[in-house]
Structure 1
Amino acid sequence: MKAIGKTVLAASVLAASAMPAMAHPGHDGSMMAGLAHPFSGVDHLAAMVAVGLWAATRPARQAVIAPLAFMGALAMGAVAGLMTGALPMIEPMVAGSVLVLGALLVLATRLSSGLALGLIVATGAVHGLAHGAEASGNLAAYFGGFLVSSALLHGAGWQMGRMIFSRSQGRLAAGLALGATGLALLAA
């Protein structure tokens, strides 16, 4: 029960620290804009932390695979987003990715790592498309900034997961909280 309380507290703090808006246009293309971007909406913040949480469900030697796969897909998606511009329905896809990542946590012990990593890559690509479509100005600085912040949030999620996943109900509570967040974002 203590793990569930810590999970709810951590999720509440993260949700309260992010602005509720899902669309994030108008970044100036600076390193600071890129660093700030993953913190600018609960959708991005929750997804970045969720990848780290999922990594905490893996053995220590495998924990880095999911964040690296997400980061690679995030970078490639950003480049694709630059070329395509804003895609229709990208924000609901970003919100849906939070739901998917919550489901991955709930099902972490039942899904194959390959299937889970495929879904993590897909969510990374969706977030990258949104980032790239919004980018302007100094693209290298902006992309570098959001990749650094994303990696830091993955690390924070992993560390949080290591603290609260000593019991399976901590993982379940985190997954359900993320899933509920994804559903709320989709309903907004």
Structure 2
Amino acid sequence: MNRTARTAGLGAVAAALTLLPQVAFAHTGVGDAHGFSHGFAHPLGGLDHLLAMVTVGVFAGQLGGRATWAVPVTFVALMAAGGALGVAGVALPFVELGIALSVVVLGLCVASGVKAPLAAAMAVVGFFAVFHGHAHGTEMPADASGLAYGLGFVSATTLLHLAGIGLGLAIARMGAARGERFVRGAGAAVAVAGAGLLAGLV
């Protein structure tokens, strides 16, 4: 992919992900600024969310091609759906376990350099995104606007995905062999952190 196409693709990702939060959140009309700020801060305030979302971006960039935008878009869309369930009070079992496992699995995907088919990669990130979204939704302040809160955590997640994609592209410029080793090492570190989260050590 040439530089112009890559830049256009990343721009399309940013635009698409920013528009996706127009989902049916229930509580709208009040507390817009309050809701947005809390929603934006939520993915940034937890190591589990932070690691998973940046790693989704790295994984997407590692896969390349259509996966560069399709994998993050899938994550954001399913995360928004999970958030809507959380806001609506719909119970989802094993949320914390699912979030911790997402860090392990995504880290291992990057560490192994797996070239998963696009549909499989989208299914994996989409599955875990529901848990992340549900956690966001259930922690929405009672006086916040649901739509604003959703826009907040979707915006933060979009930026984290783009940061991961950018990180992967920057590392790739180090040279094929060296960059690949660096990316895989980072993936392994993420997986270890995820194992720590599972064990309650982090």
What TM-score do you get using the length of structure 2 for normalisation? 0.73
- Equivalent position of 1:127 in the other structure: 132
Equivalences for residues 8-87 of structure 1 within 5 A:
30-85=35-90, 87=92
Percent of residue pairs bearing the same amino acid type: 34
- Equivalent position of 2:195 in the other structure: 183
Structure 1: how far apart are the matches of 2:47 and 2:96?
A: 12
Supply the AA of the counterpart residue of 2:199: A
**Structure 1, unpaired ranges of 5+:** 1-27
* Residue aligned with 2:62, SS: coil
1:33-63 per-residue CA deviation (whole Å, 9 max, x = no partner) reads 1111111010011111011101111335441
Structure 2: how far apart are the matches of 1:57 and 1:169?
A: 12
Structure 2: how far apart are the matches of 1:59 and 1:88?
A: 33
Distance verdict in 2 for CA 1:75–1:68, change over 3 Å: same
* Residue aligned with 1:64, SS: helix
- Equivalent position of 1:153 in the other structure: 160
* Residue aligned with 1:34, SS: helix
Distance verdict in 2 for CA 1:90–1:109, change over 3 Å: closer
**Structure 2, unpaired ranges of 5+:** 1-30
1:2-59 per-residue CA deviation (whole Å, 9 max, x = no partner) reads xxxxxxxxxxxxxxxxxxxxxxxxxx86111111111101001111101110111133
- Equivalent position of 1:142 in the other structure: 149
* Residue aligned with 1:100, SS: helix
The structure 1 residue matched to 2:180, chosen from 168, 176, 179, is 168
Following TM superposition, by how much is the alpha carbon of 1:134 offset from its aligned partner in structure 2, in angstroms? 1.4
Supply the AA of the counterpart residue of 1:89: F
The structure with the larger Rg is 2
Following TM superposition, by how much is the alpha carbon of 1:94 offset from its aligned partner in structure 2, in angstroms? 0.9
Supply the AA of the counterpart residue of 2:195: L
Supply the AA of the counterpart residue of 1:151: T
- Structure 1 window deviating more from structure 2 (80-89 vs 177-186): it is 80-89
Following TM superposition, by how much is the alpha carbon of 1:177 offset from its aligned partner in structure 2, in angstroms? 1.0
* Residue aligned with 2:125, SS: helix
Structure 2: how far apart are the matches of 1:112 and 1:60?
A: 11
Following TM superposition, by how much is the alpha carbon of 1:85 offset from its aligned partner in structure 2, in angstroms? 4.7
Distance verdict in 2 for CA 1:62–1:93, change over 3 Å: closer
1:139-187 per-residue CA deviation (whole Å, 9 max, x = no partner) reads 1111100100100010011101112244321221121011011101111
Supply the AA of the counterpart residue of 1:173: G
Distance verdict in 2 for CA 1:131–1:72, change over 3 Å: same
Supply the AA of the counterpart residue of 1:150: T
Distance verdict in 2 for CA 1:76–1:57, change over 3 Å: same
What is the root-mean-square deviation of aligned Cα atoms in Å? 1.8
Structure 1: how far apart are the matches of 2:121 and 2:113?
A: 8
